[in-house]
Amino acid sequence: MRIARFSLDGTVGFGVVEGDATTEGGPVLDIIKGHPFADFERSGQKLPLSKVRLLPPVLPNKVVAVGRNYAEHARELGHEVPETPVLFFKPSTSVVGPGDPVVYPAFSSELHHEAELAVVIGRLCKDVPRERVKDVVLGYTCANDVTARDVQRAENQWARSKGFDSSCPLGPWTETELDPSDLALMCTVNGEQRQLGRTSEMVRSIEDLVVLVSEAMTLLPGDVILTGTPAGVGPLNVGDEVAVTIEGIGTLTNKVIKRD
């Protein structure tokens, strides 16, 4: 089930996406009553997906990201895979949705794309055992951990390099019925392939990461865990269109713009 968050005439809601580009009339959105973090009903009120604005699929209280979770990516940056996972936060203000601009920060001259699978938490949880990880996950979406690489190299903390406004595109929706263990993941810039990998190449699995993060902090409905990026990260320039595509989910597209 694909659950999208949308805006129409100033009203924000959730809906189930039905159909695709091959469907006569295109995909539609069946608006749901309530929100997806509890039992909900479909209203039966359907809108063409083309008539609404897709928003970030969730508004997370926190985005917890893991660094260097693909061995080839770690090596391309001159690092080894750390024995203890490197975790960092991206603030809620960094989150934007499909079609929203990524604003090139004035304090950087080396912006990079990082295509990632994102885990969307579905219920309040703490100290989650491995066998219950599936019970606390609502689903999965595409993410781009946009990074000011020059700032990351210069500063011991990654707050500015990875936490600036618009540095965390998410979308286009949350897919709830998906086996995330071996999905193709691709990033293109202006249609040119930059990254191509599979989630099976992760050093630490989604179960590992949910257990690890929930040992340290309470996860709330709508929180997001970013699972790392495969090799091939590279520069983004003003005017570039960057797209993250994950098998079974869809494509998240954003354009890089200059800050006014």
Cα gap 162→88, rounded to integer Å:
9
* Residue 85 sits in the same domain as residue 30: no
Pair 38, 99 in one domain: no
C-alpha span between 15 and 34 (Å, rounded):
10
If asked whether residues 149 and 25 sit together in one domain, one would say no
Beta-ladder partners of 42? 32
Q: Based on the fold, state whether residues 47 and 67 are members of the same structural domain.
A: no
Contact between 49 and 30 (Cβ < 8 Å):
no
Examine the domain organization and report whether 12 and 105 are in the same domain.
Answer: no
pLDDT tens for the 260 residues of the chain, in order: 999 999 999 899 999 999 987 788 889 999 999 999 999 999 999 999 999 999 999 999 999 999 889 877 667 767 777 788 889 999 999 999 999 999 999 999 999 999 999 999 999 999 999 999 999 999 999 999 999 999 999 998 999 999 999 999 999 999 999 999 999 999 999 999 999 999 999 999 999 999 999 999 999 999 999 999 999 999 999 999 999 999 999 999 999 999 87
User: For 61, phi and psi rounded to 5 degrees?
Assistant: -65, -35
211 and 138, same structural domain?
Answer: yes
**Same domain for 74 and 44:** no
Strands 115-121 vs 224-226: parallel, antiparallel or unpaired? antiparallel
Q: How many domains is the chain built from?
A: 2
Same domain for 125 and 158, yes or no, is yes
Domain of residue 44, CATH code: 2.30.30.370
Nearest in space to 117 (alpha carbons), one of 86, 153, 95, 142: 142
Whole-structure pTM value: 0.95
Cα 120 to chain centroid, rounded:
9
Domain span at residue 215?
Answer: 63-258
Domain co-membership, 14 together with 90: no
| Last-in-domain residue among 54, 73, 95 | 54
Amino acid at 77: L
Is residue 178 within 8 Å of 249, Cβ to Cβ?
A: yes
